[in-house]
């Protein structure tokens, strides 16, 4: 009897040991080592907002930074042409160095020129049969701010001005410019309205198109009939300003949507801004330069994650462990007081075969303003499956 009991117990132990050994190796979750959020050190400067009207500022990569807080939708005037150009370049894109298709001026184009001239709008002279490239018409619309060429582009691109304005508003809606409404292509209509924050967002998108940025950065251009035309942006090249568009002539004041290139810790960064409802273009220009001057010293480039920095950890139940480390350095432009958000994306790890060091095992998702990037993470040390003894004697299920 005792022998039978002993044999039975041995069989039970053997079965349990075999079951234990053959059970799957457990998956182990990564433990994050970084906080979910981190506030950029420093105190943001008090910005010199204009005494009248409203303004908003942003930074390349970071996006919107701040506004004067008293924004109301008012007429955009010729800043409207930024959206006109963006829609045209979306529908009929150009690469830098290309001039695009030829547009032949018609009687309708000449009539538009004459009508706008009589009403003292900004115009560029055209003649019936004159041939301009897409690039040249963009130059004429954006540099001397010709209202008649905004309509020319609209008819050429969409077949009619009404159809083109519908495209402008559809694009504004897609960009979530909730306080923006376009009634025409040039901004001559007081019903084309927006806010500094909306126009700031529009300008930051438009400047990503290299052809648009090239045109608004030109001080002058030569056109077949009109001859040399000059940029109405009177501060182009000052305080790092590289564009983008003025707007004035309506009784609600002058507007200036601008971009400025500044060097921060040996890196080029763009400051964007929009001032609206100013008493004159000269005051709008001065306000833009004051904002650029106040923002530049507060900007820095910070290493938010260093290469080989430990970001997470895998700790395995049989005693093995490794950190997940960043595979790259991550340097971002930062603004005091902004919040860097961090989230670990790493799947539970099953080590059922040797895992070499430097194996990619996840990412760290970073969000800082408009920056959104996934930092690749790799194992710092090799990992090996558990030995026989641990697999036979483990107690956890």
Q: Quick check: is 195 in a domain?
A: yes
How is residue 383 annotated by DSSP?
Answer: B
Q: Quick check: is 13 in a domain?
A: no
- The tally of domains found in the chain comes to 2
Percent of the chain at pLDDT above 90? 86
Domain of residue 229 covers 70-235
- In sequence order, the β-bridge partners of residue 355 are 383
Look at residue 250 in the predicted model and tell me its pLDDT.
Answer: 75
pTM of the model: 0.88
Same domain? For 331 and 193 the reply is no
**Final residue belonging to a domain, choices 178, 212, 235:** 235
Look at residue 40 in the predicted model and tell me its pLDDT.
Answer: 95
Same domain? For 28 and 78 the reply is no
Q: Quick check: is 53 in a domain?
A: no
Per-residue pLDDT of the chain (397 residues; tens, 9 = 90+): 666 656 656 655 555 555 555 567 788 999 999 999 999 999 999 999 999 999 999 999 999 999 998 889 999 999 999 999 999 999 999 999 999 999 999 999 999 999 999 999 999 999 999 999 999 999 999 999 999 999 999 999 999 999 999 999 999 999 999 999 999 999 999 999 999 999 999 999 999 999 999 999 999 999 999 999 999 999 999 999 999 999 998 788 999 999 999 999 999 999 999 999 999 999 999 999 999 999 999 999 999 999 999 999 999 988 889 999 999 999 999 999 999 999 999 999 988 889 999 999 999 999 999 999 999 999 999 999 886 777 667 766 4
Q: Quick check: is 296 in a domain?
A: no
* CATH number of the domain that residue 81 is part of: 3.40.710.10
Distances (CA, A) of 326 to 40, 315, 334: 20, 18, 20
**Final residue belonging to a domain, choices 191, 220, 235:** 235
Q: How many CB atoms lie within 10 A of CB 45?
A: 14
Q: Quick check: is 76 in a domain?
A: yes
Same domain? For 129 and 32 the reply is no
**Final residue belonging to a domain, choices 179, 213, 235:** 235
Q: Quick check: is 57 in a domain?
A: no
| Whole-angstrom distance, CA of residue 335 vs CA of residue 318 | 45
Look at residue 20 in the predicted model and tell me its pLDDT.
Answer: 56
* CATH number of the domain that residue 380 is part of: 2.60.410
Q: Quick check: is 203 in a domain?
A: yes
Q: Quick check: is 343 in a domain?
A: yes
| Whole-angstrom distance, CA of residue 318 vs CA of residue 313 | 15
């Amino acid at each position: 009897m005792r022998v039978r009991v002993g044999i039975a117990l041995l069989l039970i132990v053997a079965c349990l040991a075999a079951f234990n050994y053959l059970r799957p190796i457990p998956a182990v979750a990564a433990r994050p080592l970084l906080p979910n959020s981190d506030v950029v050190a420093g105190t943001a400067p008090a910005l010199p907002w204009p005494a009248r009207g409203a303004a908003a500022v942003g930074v390349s990569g970071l996006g919107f930074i701040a506004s004067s807080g008293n924004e109301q939708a008012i007429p955009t005037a010729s800043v409207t042409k930024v959206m006109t150009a963006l829609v045209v370049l979306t529908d009929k894109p150009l690469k830098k160095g290309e001039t695009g298709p030829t547009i032949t001026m018609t009687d309708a184009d000449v009539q538009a020129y004459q009508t706008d001239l009589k009403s003292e709008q900004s115009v560029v002279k055209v003649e019936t049969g004159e041939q301009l490239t897409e690039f040249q018409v963009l130059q004429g619309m954006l540099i001397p701010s010709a209202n008649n060429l905004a309509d020319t582009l609209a008819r050429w691109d969409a077949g009619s001005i009404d159809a083109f304005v519908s495209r402008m508003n559809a694009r504004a809606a897609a960009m979530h410019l909730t306080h923006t409404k376009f009634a025409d292509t040039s901004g001559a209509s007081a019903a084309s309205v927006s806010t500094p924050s909306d126009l700031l967002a529009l300008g930051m998108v438009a400047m990503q198109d290299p052809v648009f940025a090239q045109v608004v950065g030109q001080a002058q251009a030569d056109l077949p009939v009109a001859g040399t035309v000059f940029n109405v942006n009177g501060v182009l090249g000052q305080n790092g300003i590289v564009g983008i568009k003025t707007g004035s002539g309506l009784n609600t004041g002058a507007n200036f949507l601008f971009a400025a290139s500044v060097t921060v810790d040996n890196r080029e960064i763009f400051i964007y801004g929009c001032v609206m409802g100013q008493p004159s273009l000269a005051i709008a220009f001065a306000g833009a330069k004051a904002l650029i001057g106040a923002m530049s010293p507060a900007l820095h480039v910070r290493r938010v994650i260093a290469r080989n920095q430990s970001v997470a950890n895998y700790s395995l139940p049989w005693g093995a462990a490794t950190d997940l480390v960043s595979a790259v350095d991550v340097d971002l432009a930062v603004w005091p007081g902004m919040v860097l958000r961090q989230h670990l994306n790493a799947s539970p790890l099953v080590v059922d075969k040797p895992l070499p060091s430097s194996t990619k095992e996840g990412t760290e998702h970073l969000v800082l303003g408009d920056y959104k990037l996934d930092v690749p993470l790799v194992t710092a040390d090799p990992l090996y499956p558990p030995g026989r003894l641990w697999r036979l004697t483990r107690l956890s299920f």
